[in-house]
């Protein structure tokens, strides 16, 4: 799909959708080069699973390496991506009344043979992560190279190849998904549109 309206419809109807023309080629290229440079400089760290001090590394469960973006010091290409995501955020709020307020993102690199087993993105103890956005940064990716994002929905299973410029968007709370192993390094920017944190309010009983 190409239009943001269609994407909003797809999110509402089946919980996921994708855009293939979300960013222009020079920005994609710059993001890829930046991720590659960070990787070569050893700046990516093994991703962990779990949350809030309970994180553990389990390579068989999740084998990617990540580098969080700092909102205060975005590179020009990162800045451009955030602008587009912000416009998408406003559009989704208008179409779907989602109340999305913030974005967070990191580079992710899966070395050959690594995977991320079936999971949902929303932490059990936090409802802030609402919409997952994954931008793929792999030139000339072909099916035999693997690395598909596999989605599990009521309608069955769907697979998306991590091709340069594809933006995959899905509900963080309900969509179960997994990353299949690939034969070459698999680059992406993974991010989450978040709702405002709701603080507990005292309940007064009559």
Interface residues toward ligand OGA, by CB under 6 A: 108, 116, 121, 134, 149, 177, 179, 188, 190
The nearest distance, CB 121 to Mn ion, in angstroms, is 4
Candidates 39-47, 59-67, 88-96, 114-122: pick the segment binding Mn ion (CB under 5 A): 114-122
Report the chain's C-alpha Rg in angstroms. Answer: 17
Which residue number has the CB closest to ligand OGA? 149
Residue 56 neighbours by CB distance under 10 Å: 9
- For residues 5 and 123, which CB has a smaller minimum distance to Mn ion in the complex? 123
Long-range contacts of 3-9 (CB under 8 A, 24+ apart): 4/88, 4/91, 4/92, 4/95, 5/95, 7/92, 7/169, 8/91, 8/92, 8/95, 8/96
The nearest distance, CB 127 to ligand OGA, in angstroms, is 17
The dihedral region occupied by 27, where left means phi > 0, alpha psi between -120 and 50, and beta the remainder, is: alpha
The nearest distance, CB 110 to ligand OGA, in angstroms, is 7
CA distance 24 to 44: 25
- For residues 34 and 121, which CB has a smaller minimum distance to Mn ion in the complex? 121
Number of residues that bind Mn ion (CB under 5 A): 1
The nearest distance, CB 206 to Mn ion, in angstroms, is 43
Among 121, 128, 131, 137, binds Mn ion (CB under 5 A): 121
């Amino acid at each position: 799909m190409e239009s943001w309206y269609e994407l909003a419809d797809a999110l509402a109807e089946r919980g996921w959708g994708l855009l293939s023309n979300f960013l222009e080629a020079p920005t994609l290229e710059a993001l890829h080069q930046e991720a590659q440079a960070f990787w070569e400089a050893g700046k990516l760290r093994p991703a962990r699973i779990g949350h809030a001090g309970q994180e553990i590394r389990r390579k068989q469960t999740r084998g990617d390496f990540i580098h969080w973006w700092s909102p205060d010091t975005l590179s020009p290409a990162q800045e451009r991506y955030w602008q587009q995501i912000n416009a998408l955020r406003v559009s989704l709020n208008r179409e779907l009344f989602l109340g999305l307020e913030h974005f967070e993102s990191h580079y992710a690199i899966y070395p050959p043979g690594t995977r991320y087993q079936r999971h949902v993105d929303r932490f059990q103890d936090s409802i802030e992560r609402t919409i997952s956005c994954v931008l793929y940064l792999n030139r000339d990716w072909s099916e035999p190279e693997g690395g598909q994002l596999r989605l599990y929905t009521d309608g069955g299973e769907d697979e998306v190849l991590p091709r340069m410029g594809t933006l995959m968007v899905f509900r963080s709370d309900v969509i179960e998904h997994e990353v299949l192993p690939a034969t070459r390094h698999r680059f992406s920017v993974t991010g989450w549109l978040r709702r405002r944190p709701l603080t507990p309010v005292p309940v007064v009983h009559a």
